[in-house]
Chain A
Amino acid sequence: MNNWLYSETVKDHFLHPRNFLSGDEADFAADGVGEVGSPACGDVMKMWIKVKDGKIIDLQWKTFGCASAIGSTSMLSEMVLENGGMKIETALKITPADILKKLGGLPTNKIHCSVLGDKVLRAAVKNYLEKKGEPKKKPSKIICVCLGVTERELDLSVAAGERTFAEFQRRTKAGTGCGKCVAKIEKLLAKKIDQYSDKTCCSFCKKDCPSKTSRTND
């Protein structure tokens, strides 16, 4: 087909998905399970991993979503399992951009579909570590349910100098699912910028510090 919407790689993974959970969940006997997304947003991904000596040696998944969501989960599973499996630390470093590159790109309005892939892997790893008895980190509040974006990511964003929702969204894809969270995140972001400015800027900041105004409006 010459007029296919996606790249040939996406097509291949969409039509022939690799490593999806075909049997019973119990039979796979996973060491860690993660799930992200929500049916309301149109994407749900679930991932099961098996870990040995700090390496993810097996991984299976299930995805409810469009061709790019299915294609990106399938691609991610292949990336992790290549050469007998990836070390947990390495796997955690996989970014949406890495998956995107392997897929040969996605149409712009579909990029958010690939963001869930690394999120679900992280969720599965976290579940594995908790099961293993590692101290439970206080979970950060989810501020965008569709894309599984946490408040911690927003904190990091502000700390890294990002000052607009657009910047935050470009990196995390927050608010590109159902979009219902956008207003809330924008408000929260303004609050965080305010707090951040309090500590780092001058005493005028609470009112109308010119530097703040120029930063938030760029």
Chain B
Amino acid sequence: MLPFFQEEFGNPGSIHSKGQSAKNALEKARRSVAEILNCEPEEIIFTSGGSESDNLALNGILKKDDHLIISAIEHPAVLHVAEILEQNGIELTKIPVEKNGILKIEKIEKAIHPNTKLISVMLANNEIGTLQPLREIGKFLQKNHPGILLHTDAVQGGGILDLNVKHLKVDFLSLSAHKFYGPKGVGILFKKKGVKLNPQISGGSQERSLRAGTENVAGIVGCVKALALAEKSRNKEFIRLKKLQNYFVEKVLAEIPKTRLNGDAEKRLPGNANFSFFGIEGESILLRLDFEGIAASTGSACASGSLDPSHVLQALKIPHDWLHGSIRFTLGKSTTKKDLDFVVAKLKKIVKDLRAISPLV
């Protein structure tokens, strides 16, 4: 991607050769994504990230009095857009998930109304990593409700799960580059041919007039290169991470008492491990880990701007004295078994220290 910051500075919208060179790079990137998603290049829209892709899909499809179905654990980029749309007169149904963080397809079936226009269910959850039954939903809709559109926020699955849109049977799919080691600020929206979408950024005719604005050529080239690299080793990396995940989860649960894994143990992203530690608070754990050079995140109220615990953990109906002590670890391509041993050793001591000063333990 680096040449596109300097010598290859052309604007893809220009007719001169510098412009055409940038345009060629852009279209090559588009073909490359299309190959990975098993779709046509014309079905790819480049955006500024997963949030924009989600916003574009939902806002570009739904009109007043349409019905939208989403899962209760969607990323805020879907959840908040849906809530705003609801205030503006669309009908919204949030499908609760089971205690394992996975939604039951029967609940979607029951929620369908004659005016249901779009269903949006994430491929994998961003906090607890649970995999949603997207293929089953797609198959069901194709057979019984071919008129209802299906969108998936697949941001968490980028580079690690199968993104073949023919397998998933989706009409829209959102991706974000930084989730597969690409640059921040670049995203992708797959939109099935023939589906009418209203642009949310209007102006020039870039991205087939569905997303105006001069293209972020360097970012897009970097995004697609990263996706192609991830795709090459995707299966191998999935198996490697799955093994590490099993090792890590078993070790944490075995060595730290009063600990639970949030979300289904099997049907989850191989890089996600979300735990709750009884009687202590997530932000404290996170900051202590930070001092050891370990970066984690928490869904506890104290660490969020809103002072509310995460809607995902609340949807799992975790008791309060566990809920606030949740920590998410993410395993990635540089994670080794040795790293995980280091984390467990530090974590053990931190949990012990914090429990020593907790009135709940």
Contact = CB atoms under 8 A, between A and B. Distances in A.
Contacts of A188: none
A43 B356 CA distance: 15
Given A20-B356, A44-B360, A65 B287 contact: no
A60 to B, nearest CB: 10
A67 interface: yes
Contact of B291 (A1, A17, A112): A1
B357 A20 contact: yes
A109 B303 CA distance: 10
B300 A63 contact: no
Contact of B284 (A65, A109, A110, A179): A65
B301 interface: yes
**Interface hub of A17, A40, A113 (most chain B Cβ within 10 A):** A40
B308 A179 contact: yes
Contact of B359 (A41, A64, A176, A178): A64
Contacts of B300: 42, 66
Nearest to A47: B359
**Interface hub of A1, A35, A67 (most chain B Cβ within 10 A):** A67
Interface in A93-132: 109-110, 112-113
Given A1-B291, A179-B307, A179-B308, A70 B356 contact: no
Nearest to B282: A66
Contacts of B281: 42-43, 64-66, 69
A70 B282 CA distance: 13
**Interface hub of B287, B288, B290 (most chain A Cβ within 10 A):** B287
Contact of A35 (B307, B320, B358, B359): B359
A42 B358 contact: no
Chain A interface size, as a band, is: 35 or more
A67 B284 contact: yes
A210 to B, nearest CB: 33
Chain B interface size, as a band, is: 20 to 34
A35 B359 CA distance: 9
Given A42-B300, A176-B307, A177-B307, A62 B287 contact: no
B359 A22 contact: no
B271 interface: no
B344 interface: no
A39 B360 CA distance: 8
**Interface hub of A1, A17, A63, A176 (most chain B Cβ within 10 A):** A63
Contact of A70 (B307, B309, B357, B360): B357
Contacts of B359: 35, 44-46, 62-64
Nearest to A35: B359
A66 B283 contact: yes
A129 B321 CA distance: 31
Interface string A43-76: 1111000000000000001111111111000000
A67 B290 CA distance: 12
A166 interface: no
B194 interface: no
Nearest to A37: B359
Given A15-B291, A42-B309, A176-B307, A62 B357 contact: yes
Contacts of A142: none
Contact of A42 (B290, B302, B305): B302
A14 interface: yes
B358 A62 contact: yes
Interface string B321-360: 1001000000000000000000000000000000011111
Nearest to B357: A20
Given A63-B358, A66-B283, A39 B321 contact: yes
Contacts of B360: 39, 44, 64
B302 A17 contact: no
Nearest to B298: A66
B101 interface: no
Given A14-B287, A64-B279, A66-B284, A42 B301 contact: yes
Nearest to A74: B357
A67 B357 CA distance: 12
Contacts of A65: 281, 284, 302
Interface string A183-212: 000000000000000000000000000000
**Interface hub of A39, A42, A44, A63 (most chain B Cβ within 10 A):** A42
Contacts of B170: none
Contacts of A35: 359
5 contacts: A1-B290, A38-B320, A64-B324, A64-B360, A66-B282
Interface of B: 279-284, 287-288, 290-291, 300-303, 305, 307-309, 320-321, 324, 356-360
Given A46-B359, A177-B307, 14 more contacts: A1-B290, A5-B287, A14-B284, A22-B356, A35-B359, A42-B307, A42-B324, A45-B359, A63-B358, A64-B358, A66-B302, A110-B302, A179-B307, A179-B308
5 tightest Cβ-Cβ pairs between the two chains A and B: A66-B302, A66-B283, A62-B359, A46-B359, A39-B321
